[in-house]
Each structure stands twice: as C-alpha cells, then as structure tokens.
Amino acid sequence: MKTFYHIFISAIAIAITSYLLPGATVTILGAIVVAVVLAVINIFIKPIVYILTLPITIVTVGLFSLVLNALFVWFAAYLVPGFNIAGFWTAFFFAIILSLINMVFLPRKD
C-alpha cells in the first residue's frame, strides 16, 4: 500500500511540475507511467550510476547528482509516450522542482 501511495503522490507531483514548467507536457496516464518508470530507474539504475560517477560527484560537491537526475528524467521522457521534455535544461529544472514537491509531500524513510 505504501508503494501505491508513493507512486500516486509522485504522479501528482509530475503533473504539477509539468504544469508549472514550460517545455514539459504530460498526460494523466503518462504521469502515472512516468512515476512508475522513475521508481524503477531509482531502484535499479540510479545506485549503479551513482557509484560509477562518485569521483566526479565528490569533485563537484554533489552538484553532478542534479545532472544525473535530469538525465534520468530525460530518459523517462524518451521511454514514456505521454511525457515530453523540450531539452536538457527543461529536464534539469523538472528534476529539481519534482524533488522539491516530493520532499514536501512524501514522508521520509526512517
């Protein structure tokens, strides 16, 4: 049940973010699919990529992780037909806004 709640809140956050950010469009069904795709990316791909890019993340004092999040959002836009991102910078700001909205509405994992 917790997983469905997380995906539901993430889908709402994706819809809100695409509404706020010009250059990002998503359908309602697309927002749900993007939430699932981003969850799968965060579970399986993100830990491997973060370990591989740890040196550059340390050198940039963690700012490279924002670039990685933008690339993951851009990759999700490539995979999901109802979700469009205009370019890298749109994906970059989409990832930042999405993280902020999720931080407010999703409980911490303790």
Query: pLDDT digit string (tens) for 41-54?
Result: 999 999 999 999 99
pLDDT tens-digit series, residues 90-108 = 999 999 999 999 889 887 7
Question: pTM here?
Answer: 0.90
Structure token pair of residue 98: 């999405």
Residue 64 near residue 57 (C-beta atoms within 8 A): yes
Closest CA to 15 of 25, 4, 2, 3: 25
Average pLDDT value for the chain = 93
pLDDT tens-digit series, residues 71-93 = 999 999 999 999 999 999 999 99
